[in-house]
A = this chain, B = another copy of it.
Amino acid sequence: MVFPHAKLNVDGIVNSLRDKILTGTYPPGERLVETDLADEFGVSRGPVRDALKRLAGVGLVTAKNNVGVQVRTFSLADAKAFYQLREALEVQVAQLAAQHAGDAEMARIKYLLHEHEELIHRHPDGAYVQDEKDQDFHLVLVDIASNPLIHKLLADELYPQSVLLRRSHRMVKGRGAKAFFEHQQIAEAIYANDHVLAGMLMTRHIQSSWRSFYSGQQCKSENQSDDR
């Protein structure tokens, strides 16, 4: 007999809940009831409350006093603010990465881009795997930037939120090839340790991503103006 989960502590509950949110088991707007989750995980409400509070702290759920928590939904205004914040952080990451990158780091980037290139040739419009590789590229840069605070913000908060954002507003099919080209440009600047250029190119990269997202939302102008 196999136990579905031996005995989950708070960290385990957080991880499990995050997975279920990011994979869509709990879609945006879904209410998360403490007692239900407690039964589901086979624990009492205490650890579940702690887990939900941590998820609220990283912006994956929203909590209202005496009412409850639900999976976060992104309004268009939220999305705009999100991209502005991400731009600020990613530009700094690109600059720091360009300053810190040595031979080993450059080799790491080159290998990743090579893999990505092959993927594009095999699946010219495979939006999903390309989004994966896109996040990989940015994560590698965050690693190289060597700033634990920014790393935590991007890896633990913004990137998960980014997945949720894609799930809230159904994204227009990824812009894989164009993004890959921009990655190559940024990489070139990093190889040259040109942090100014790397920053500028990253600015354009994120803004380009935002425009792609925004135009995709404008076409199907449903009632996306729910700001709650």
What is the count of identical protomers in the complex?
Answer: 2
Is there contact, CB below 8 Å, between B148 and A81? yes
Is there contact, CB below 8 Å, between B96 and A92? no
- The tally of residues in A whose CB lies under 8 Å from a CB in B reads 21
Q: CB-nearest residue of chain B relative to A58?
A: B57
Question: A81 to B50, alpha carbons, bound, how many Å?
Answer: 28
Chain A positions within 8 Å of B, measured between CB atoms, are 49-50, 53-54, 57, 78, 81-82, 84-85, 87-89, 91-92, 96, 147-150, 153
Q: A53-B53, A88-B88, A88-B89 are in contact. List 20 more A-B contacts (CB 8 A).
A: A49-B50, A50-B53, A53-B57, A54-B57, A78-B149, A81-B148, A81-B149, A81-B150, A82-B149, A84-B149, A84-B150, A85-B89, A85-B92, A85-B147, A85-B149, A85-B150, A87-B92, A88-B91, A88-B92, A89-B89
